[in-house]
Amino acid sequence: MLDALEARFPGTDLAQQRLRLLIDEGRPDEALALAEAGGLMARNVTSRDETLRLHLCQGRLAEAERVAGEIVRALGVGNHHAAQFSVTLSGAMLNELRIFHRVAGQGEGRSLVRDIYEPARQVIDAWEARLSPPPGAFAPGAPAAIPRRIVQYWNAEDPPPEVGKVMEGWRRAAGFDYRCHNRASALRFLAQTYDDRHARAFRLANNAAEECDFLRLCLLLAEGGIYSDADDMLAGDPGALLAGAGGMLVAREPFRAIANNVICARPGHPVLKIAVDMAREALLSRANDGTWSKTGPGLFTRAIAAYLVDCETKGTEPDLRIMPQYRLNRFVTPHVRLSYKTTSKYWNARSRDAATPTVRALARLAAGERGELAVA
């Protein structure tokens, strides 16, 4: 299609659109080749950040260091955003990758999947590479064991009207039970279904995003069904989404983390047990990790990798399906743009990209010892 457009309108620059398609389809090598050959990464800081994340999602530390340095220099010495680069998601992931390369000896990565994102990504990559058909060729198979139930969360009694309109599509899904929890009903559910430690962990969340991350795991572990974020719009038949899903269906983001905005699972799935335990302990210990790593996609990626390692150790077949994000988008339009998100009340306004202070300190130490760029 892009070739046809360029032929019809000579001089039209569609390189950025090609890059986005390659990223969305999970083809990082081709995306990097296009970005660097076409000079796309030099256009602005946003393009450089995408290039950085392409290197990070493949564990390429040296290349990531180079691009991170270019980002900081482009922002300018003394620039507030340059000084705060390490607390962005990309900066935090770079610091964690540095630490992984420093502490992980030969063959030790698999023992670190519950703690560090990079070895978790590697385990999932290796598992997907062995699949037949590959994840991009996901096709319906055996009936799902997932209940026809949809759950969502909004911390207040009533969501903003535009958010409510997005949620309405899920509420009206034919043939599905629907429940939306608020903060009060979530606390009742946790106290009645689990115990005081789970309810206390929920109360210790730093923000509504962490509350929501933890609650979805607990809800699905106990009851199963489909969880969807409130800003994800239903665009297809959720019944068709579950066809062939087995015990768990999740999507993999373009930059290789496992998304947690839409999770389909049977009750009692081992991934959920691992994830609930990890998130509960992180919340109870008041861990300073950013939300992405503490309770969000970073944690969920590590939990899935831990499950895959357990299955391999036990010689059992994983009850898991992972589809590319672009396949899920046929059913769900994620992260719909809403005017609410421009206000200070937006859950993710400050929470998702914060880095771990310990990670930052160790990364600066490691970089200083090797005479490398310290992104801080």
Q: In sequence order, what DSSP letters do the residues of 168-202 get, joined into one string? A: HHHHT-TT-EEEEE-HHHHHHHHHHHS-HHHHHHH
Domain match, 217 and 147 both: yes
Q: For the chain, what percent of residues have pLDDT higher than 70?
A: 77
For range 80-85, the mean pLDDT:
60
Domain match, 308 and 165 both: yes
Domain match, 308 and 224 both: yes
Q: Check residue 224 and give left, alpha or beta (phi > 0: left; psi -120 to 50: alpha).
A: left
Does residue 296 register a pLDDT over 70? yes
In the prediction, which pLDDT does 344 show? 62
In a domain, 354, yes or no: no
Q: How far apart are CA 189 and CA 218, in angstroms?
A: 9
How many CA atoms lie less than 13 Å away from 159 in the CB half-sphere? 23
Segment among 177-191, 282-296, 312-326, 341-355 with least mean pLDDT:
341-355
pLDDT category of residue 89 using cuts at 50, 70 and 90: confident
Domain match, 97 and 206 both: no
Last residue of a domain, one of 93, 127, 161: 127
In a domain, 349, yes or no: no
Domain match, 153 and 280 both: yes
Contact between residue 373 and residue 69 where contact means Cβ atoms under 8 Å apart: yes
Last residue of a domain, one of 336, 351, 371: 336
Q: For the chain, what percent of residues have pLDDT higher than 90?
A: 56
Q: What is the DSSP letter of 320?
A: -
In the prediction, which pLDDT does 105 show? 60
What tens digit of pLDDT does each residue of 11-62 get? 555 677 777 788 887 787 888 888 777 665 555 556 778 888 899 988 999 9
Segment among 147-151, 337-341, 366-370 with least mean pLDDT:
366-370
For the chain, what is the mean pLDDT?
Answer: 83
C-alpha dihedral sign at 269, 244, 122, 300: negative
Q: How far apart are CA 332 and CA 260, in angstroms?
A: 13
In the prediction, which pLDDT does 106 show? 52
Those residues with Cβ within 8 angstroms of residue 56's Cβ, 6 or more apart along the chain or in another chain: 64, 90, 93, 94, 97, 255
In a domain, 320, yes or no: yes
In a domain, 352, yes or no: no
Q: How far apart are CA 182 and CA 164, in angstroms?
A: 13
Domain match, 115 and 156 both: no
Domain match, 10 and 87 both: yes
Domain match, 94 and 143 both: no
C-alpha dihedral sign at 299, 301, 307, 310: negative
In a domain, 362, yes or no: no
Domain count, the chain: 2
Domain match, 22 and 88 both: yes
Domain holding 20, by residue range, is 2-127
Last residue of a domain, one of 127, 156, 176: 127
How many other CB atoms are there within 10 angstroms of residue 310's CB atom? 15
pLDDT category of residue 283 using cuts at 50, 70 and 90: very high
Q: What is the CATH number of the domain that holds 212?
A: 3.90.550.20
Domain match, 117 and 37 both: yes
**Helical (H) or strand (E) element with 139:** none
Does residue 8 register a pLDDT over 60? no
Contact between residue 266 and residue 289 where contact means Cβ atoms under 8 Å apart: no
Contact between residue 228 and residue 150 where contact means Cβ atoms under 8 Å apart: yes
pLDDT category of residue 148 using cuts at 50, 70 and 90: very high
Q: How far apart are CA 376 and CA 84, in angstroms?
A: 7
Higher pLDDT, 6 or 102: 102
In a domain, 272, yes or no: yes
Q: How far apart are CA 116 and CA 100, in angstroms?
A: 7
Domain match, 78 and 28 both: yes
For range 242-269, the mean pLDDT:
95
In a domain, 347, yes or no: no
In a domain, 173, yes or no: yes
Domain match, 76 and 112 both: yes
What tens digit of pLDDT does each residue of 311-352 get? 999 999 999 999 999 999 999 999 998 887 676 666 665 444
Q: How far apart are CA 303 and CA 113, in angstroms?
A: 8
In the chain the beta strands, taken as DSSP E runs, fall at: 149-153, 177-181, 225-228, 233-234, 248-252, 262-265, 321-324, 332-333
Which range scores top for mean pLDDT: 77-91, 101-115, 142-156?
142-156
In the prediction, which pLDDT does 210 show? 97
